[in-house]
Amino acid sequence: MSFDIALILDSVPKLLAGIGLTLQLLLLSGLFGTLLGVLTCAARLSRLPILRWPGWLYITLFRGTPLLVQIFIIYYGLAQFEAIRDSFLWTFLREPYWCAILAFALNTGAYTGEIFRGGVQGVDKGLTEAAWALGLNRWHRLRYIVAPIALRLSLPAYGNDMISLLKGTALASTITLLDITGVARNIVAKTFAPYEIFISAAIVYLCMTWVIQRLVAWAEWRLNRPLRAS
Amino acid sequence: MELALEWARPFLGGALVVLQIFAVALVLTVVIGLLGASAKLSGSRALRWLAHAYTTVFRGTPEVLILLILYFGSAVSLTALVRLFRPEIQFVDIPPFWAGSLALGLIVGAYATETFRGAFQGVPKGQVEAARALGLSGWQVFFYVRLPQMWRLALPTFGNHMLSLMKDTALISIIGLEEIMYTAKIATSVTSKPFTMYAMVGVIYLLFTWLIALLVGRLERGATRHLMESR
Amino acid sequence: MNAETPAILLDKVSKRFGSFEALKQVSLTVARGERIVVCGPSGSGKSTMIRCVNRLERHDSGEIFVNGMALTGGKGDQAVVRDNVGMVFQQFNLFPHLTVLQNLMLAPRLVQKRSKAEARDVALRLLERVRIPEQAEKYPAQLSGGQQQRVAIARALCVNPKIMLFDEPTSALDPEMIKEVLDVMVALAREGMTMICVTHEMGFARSVADRVVFMDHGRIVEADAPEAFFGNPRHERTRLFLSQILSH
C-alpha cells in the first residue's frame, strides 16, 4: 500500500469544499433541533397530558430508530404521498438538502429534549421553593432560577449531542449531498485510494469535533464560575 | 396493511442479519472496551496514550467514515496483497458482515472503554484492599470484587451503548450488506411504497431497542438487588 | 384586620403524605409579635406544619389563616404568603448562580416592582443588619455556611414580611457558626418580628420564645411559656424528649 501524498494534497482543497455544506447542515440542524428540544422539554414537563403524550411519542420514535432510517423515510418515503407531492412543502421536501436538515433537526430535537428535561429536573427543589416563597411567579421562576441552572446542568450532555450531530451530518452523503463525506466518497470512487482520502476526511472531522469540545469546555468554565469557592 | 405482511418474510430475514451483527459487534465491544479500559488504567504511559488516541479518533469520527475506511481500505490492501501471488484476481474483500461488525465493535468499543474505565475507578479502593488483605489473588480480586462492582456502575451507560450499537447496524447497508435496509430498498423498487417499507424497518428497530431497554432494566435490577432494602 | 387578628391561625389542620399522616388535627394560634419555638422528634410534623403555613405544602383539611386571610389552596395563596410570610430553610437555598446582592434584589425587583436603585438600597441595608455587607458581590459558594444562612435571612427580609418562619435554620451548620445565625434571629425577635421557629436550639428557645410548642406524631402535645415548659413539663412524652435533647 503506497501513500500517495500528491493525491492527498490535491484532494484536501476539494474536501474543504465540502466543509461549507457540513457546517450549514450542522448549524441549521443544530439551531432548529435545539429549539425543538426546548419545546419538547416543555411538552414533556407540562401539566397537560395532551402535551405530554405526543412529546413522549416523538422522543421514543426518534431515539429508538436509526438516523439513517429517519433520513430515508423523509427523503424517499414522503414522496409516496400524493398529498405531499401536491402541496407547497414539496418544493422543500424534494430537495435532499432540506430533507437532511429536517431529519437531523427532528433527531436532535428528540435527544436535546431529553437532555433539557434532565437538566430541569436536576434543579434542586429547594431553590424553586425559595423562589416561590419570595413570591416569584411561574414565569419568573423559570427565567431567573430554573433555566440558568438547567442550562448549566445540561451543558456536558448537550455538547456530546452536538458532536453526535456533526458525525450524523456525514450521512447526508447517502442522499447525494456533497458534504465532506460525500466529496470524499466521490474522490475515492474515481481514484480507488480509500486510505488517503477517507483518513484526510476523518482528520477534518476530528478538528471540527475538537473545536466543539473547546467551545463547550469554555462555556462550562464560564457557567461554573459562581460555584467555585474562592 | 397487506403489503407489509406480504413482505414480512424477507424483512424477518433482514432483521435476523441485524441481530447477528449486533451479537458479534456486542462481543467485540465488550472485549475491546475491557482491553481499552485496562490500557487506560495501566502503568504504562505508552499504553495510556495509545488508548487515549484510540478513543479520541473513534469517538470523534463519523461512524460511516470508519465503516468506509475499514471496508474499502481493507479491500484495497487485501486485493493488493493477494494479487502479489495470484494476479488474475481482481477484487478481494472482507465480507461486509465482518468488516461492519469489526467497525462497530471498534466504534462503540471506544465509548465502552471510557465507561468501563470510569466504572473501574468508581469501585471503592477499600474493597480491593480488603480483598487483598483476605488473601485473594490478583485474578480473584478482579473477578470477584472489581468486575461485579464495576458492572453495576457501568450498566446504565453501557445500556445506552447497546442502544447506539443496535441503531448503528443500519449503517452497514452502506457498504453493501444485505440486511434490513437492503430489503426495504428492494421492496421499494418493486412496490413503489418507500414510506411503508422504510417505516417497517423503523418499527423493527423500535422493537429491538425496546427489547434492549427492557433487558437492561432487568439487568440493572439484578445488579443492584443487594442494595435494595429488604421488605 | 385589627390588632386582635392573630398573625397565624391553624384550626384542626391535617395533612397526609400517601398513607402517612403528618399532621393530625393541629390547632395553633400565633398572636402578632409572638415568638414561637416548635420542637419535637423527627417525623413529628413540625416542618410540615410551617410548610403548610406558607403553602409549600397544601393541607388536606382544616383551616389556615395568615393575618386574617384564609389559605384556600388556590392561586391566590401565593399573594397572601408573599405579602405576609418570609421563610428561611435548613439548606439555605440561596440561588447559586447569583451574587449575594442579586439574591437579595431579585424579589424586590420582580415581585414588588421596585427600581434597581431602590432594591439595591434595601439589600445593602439588610446586609448591614445581618452584619456581612462586605460579601455583597460574592457568590454563595464563596461564603461559609453561617454567612450563607444570614444572607438567606436577609433575602427573606427584603420583601418586608410581617411573619418569619424558620425551618431548622441551624441544623445544617457547623457548630461554630450556629451562634452568628442565632444572634441575628435574636435581634430580629427583639425588634418585634412575629416568628415561628422549628429548632433544636433550646438556649434560643429559653431566651427568646414567648411559647414553646412540643409536637409528636403529628400532634401538638404541649405548648407553654419557656419557664413552665422547661421547668415543669406536663406530659410524659415532653419530659422524655427534653431529657434526650438536653442531656448533652
Q: How confident is the model at residue B53 (pLDDT cuts 50, 70, 90)?
A: very high
Side-chain half-sphere CA neighbours of C84 within 13 A: 20
Tens-digit pLDDT profile for residues B151-177: 888 998 999 999 999 999 999 999 888
Please name the member of B76, B174, B201 whose beta carbon is closest to the beta carbon of A194. Answer: B76
The C-alpha R_g of chain B, in whole angstroms, comes to 22
Strands C194-198 and C163-167: parallel
Q: Do residues C137 and C127 touch, judged by C-beta distance below 8 A?
A: no
Alpha-carbon distance of A61 to B205, in angstroms, equals 10
Which of A58, A62, A68, A78 best tests the B interface by mutation, with the highest count of B CBs <10 A?
A: A68
Q: Report the sign of the C-alpha dihedral through residues A18, A21, A24, A28, in that order.
A: negative
Q: Do residues A104 and A29 touch, judged by C-beta distance below 8 A?
A: yes
Work out the minimum CA distance from B124 to partner chain A, whole angstroms.
25
Alpha-carbon distance of C174 to C28, in angstroms, equals 32
Q: Do residues B184 and B198 touch, judged by C-beta distance below 8 A?
A: yes
User: Residues B89-106, buried b or exposed e (16+ Cβ, 10 A)?
Assistant: eeebbbebbbbbbbbbbb
- ipTM for this model: 0.89
Write down the domain spans for chain A: 5-229
Instruction: Identify the CA nearest to C183 among candidates C136, C129, C140, C222.
Output: C129
Domain count for chain B, please give it.
Answer: 1
Determine the structural domain holding residue B196 and report its residue range.
Answer: 2-229
Burial of B126 (0-12, 13-18, 19+ CB in 10 A): exposed
Instruction: Identify the CA nearest to C137 among candidates C108, C168, C98.
Output: C98
Alpha-carbon distance of B18 to B5, in angstroms, equals 19
Tens-digit pLDDT profile for residues B200-217: 999 999 999 999 999 998
Q: Whole-model pTM?
A: 0.89
pLDDT of res. A80: 81
Q: Which residue of B has its CA nearest to A212?
A: B60
Long-range contacts of A215-224, Cβ-Cβ distance < 8 Å, separation of 24 or more: A215/A159, A216/A155, A216/A156, A216/A158, A216/A159, A216/A162, A219/A155, A219/A159, A220/A152, A220/A155, A220/A156, A220/A159, A223/A151, A223/A152, A223/A155, A223/C97, A224/A152
Instruction: For chain B, give the mean pLDDT.
Output: 89
For residues A190 and C195, the model is more confident at C195
Any B CB within 8 A of A199 CB: yes
Tens-digit pLDDT profile for residues B84-139: 888 887 788 888 899 999 999 999 999 999 999 999 998 888 888 898 888 888 88
pLDDT of res. A1: 45
Residues sharing a CB contact under 8 Å with residue B223, sequence separation 6 or more, in sequence order: B148, B151, B152, B155
Q: Do residues C129 and C61 touch, judged by C-beta distance below 8 A?
A: no
Give residue ranges of A with CB < 8 Å to any C CB.
124, 126-127, 129-137, 140, 144-145, 148-149, 152, 223, 225-230
Contact A133 C85 (CB under 8 A): yes
Distance of CA C63 to the CA centre of its chain: 19
Judge whether residue C46 has pLDDT over 60.
yes
Q: How confident is the model at residue A195 (pLDDT cuts 50, 70, 90)?
A: confident
Neighbour subunits, A (≥3 Cβ pairs < 8 A) = B, C
- Reading the block at residue C149, the C-alpha cell is 444562612
CATH number at residue B125: 1.10.3720.10
Q: Which residue of A has its CA nearest to C160?
A: A134
Q: What is the DSSP string of C67-128?
A: TTEE--SSTTHHHHHHHHEEEE-TT----TTS-HHHHHHHHHHHTS---HHHHHHHHHHHHH
Tens-digit pLDDT profile for residues A61-113: 999 999 999 999 999 988 888 777 778 788 888 889 999 999 999 999 999 99
Contact A202 B69 (CB under 8 A): yes
- The class of domain A5-229 in CATH terms is mainly alpha
pLDDT of res. C15: 93
Any A CB within 8 A of B68 CB: yes
